[in-house]
Amino acid sequence: MVGKLFRRMLGGGEAPASQVAARESYKGCELEAVPVQDGGRWRVAGSVVKTIDGVEKRHDFVRADTFPDRDDAAAVSLSKGRLLVDQMGDKLFE
C-alpha cells in the first residue's frame, strides 16, 4: 500500500476519493488526509493542494507515524498538513 502512494506521489495525480479520509481548508490550501494501511496499522499520509497563478500545485507527504485506527491517522494527517503550511508556506510547492 505504501508503494502505491509513492507511485502516485511520483507520477502525480490525485488520490481516489474513496482513499481520502478527511478534507479541510486551511490558509488558502486544501488538505487531504489519505492514511495508508501498513500491516494492521494506518500510516499518516496526505496532500496539501493550492492554486497559485491559476495552476494547481500539490505536495504529497508520508510520515513514519502509525495508528491502529484510520480516523486517528486521518486527524494527525490533517495536523501534519497544517504544520507544513505554517512552516513552509508557498515554498512547499517549489
Residue 38: give its domain's CATH number. Answer: 3.30.160.350
- Give the DSSP H/E element, type plus range, for residue 22: strand 22-26
Residue 87 confidence (pLDDT): 98
42-71 core/surface letters (b: 16 or more CB in 10 A; e: else): bbbbbbbbbeeeeeeebbbbbeebbbeebe
pLDDT at residue 8, rounded to an integer: 46
Sign, Cα dihedral of 11, 60, 89, 31:
positive
The amino acid at 67: F
Number of domains in the chain: 1
pTM: 0.81
| Per-residue confidence (pLDDT) for residue 16, from 0 to 100 | 60
Question: Which residue segment(s) compose the domain that 63 sits in?
Answer: 2-93
pLDDT for the residue 70 = 97
Would you write out the chain's pLDDT as a tens digit for each of its 94 residues? 444 444 444 345 556 657 999 999 999 999 999 999 999 999 999 999 999 999 999 999 999 999 999 999 999 999 999 999 999 999 999 9
